[in-house]
Structure 1
């Protein structure tokens, strides 16, 4: 598996699993009726952000991540990221590979830390992965996400410090 920067033409390979994950409404609070173009606008980051893809040896896109500053201006020294793995390729380490790449990228770019704003508490594989990588749950908002089968569930705010010095 190779992690590389996404190019515009990768969106056609990302869209089918992006759409599947959004329609499931179990891990993202994206509008399930969003169009191809709306999804592209949300997912395909421009500098100072980055979108990456995980590809198999044959070039098949297995998953994708997007990353960059969590907020503009005075908050731009804290990064954030989002991930989607093709459900057909889960269990192959795609998410972990994308996550490790994302942490490395944020460090290389000089970010002070990484904040996830809304990790659905029932998405236990993601919560476990982030904790394995050193993220801590720094807050939990009860009943903030309407899960299709679990009802109202909490969203975690998670944080990973990257530096102990002055912010970038």
Structure 2
């Protein structure tokens, strides 16, 4: 698997990953009815460095890396990751997170923070903990899960 900078030629493959995650509405606080254009505009927003994980010509995942805040908070990175359904459990998210930690370090970020990890996304929570992130706080009932109702969101952090 290689992880490389995403290009406009990757938009169809990235949309095929983003769409089911957005429509499910159970791991990201994004509008479930977003169009392709809205989702890609968000994923490739100004300030986002967007990557894809590719294996044998097939894109299995995508992530973006950005400064978590502007000004005095710009030394802390933030990322969003999505994996293709058929690649779940195959180490793609782990590889993308490890890659993002290295890229963030190379870009002189001092830490990485995830602002809103849905607590019921147990695979992601376990993965982030396994990669050295700490849960700093729990935001009670901060996410309206489509099947679980109101669930907590976590703020997770790791120094680089």
Q: What is the CA RMSD across the aligned residues, in angstroms?
A: 1.0
SS of the counterpart of 1:16? helix
Instruction: Pick the aligned partner of 1:96 from 94, 97, 104.
Output: 94
Q: Secondary structure at the match of 2:144?
A: strand
- Counterpart residue number, 1:78: 76
**Residues in 2 aligned to 1:17 and 1:105: alpha-carbon distance in whole angstroms:** 22
Q: Displaced runs of 4+ in structure 1, greater than 3 A?
A: none
- Give the unaligned 5+ runs of structure 1: 163-168
Q: Is the 8 A contact 1:45 1:51 kept in 2?
A: no
**1:9: which partner in 2?**
9
Number of aligned residue pairs: 160
Alignment counterpart, residue 110 of structure 2, candidates 109, 112, 122: 112
Aligned to 2:18: 18
Q: Corresponding residue for 1:35? A: 35
Q: Which residue of 2 aligns with 1:166?
A: none
Select 2:154's aligned residue among 153, 156, 161. 156
Normalised to the residue count of structure 1, the TM-score between the two structures is: 0.92
Q: Please state if 1:62 is matched with 2:65.
A: no
TM-score (norm: length of structure 2): 0.97
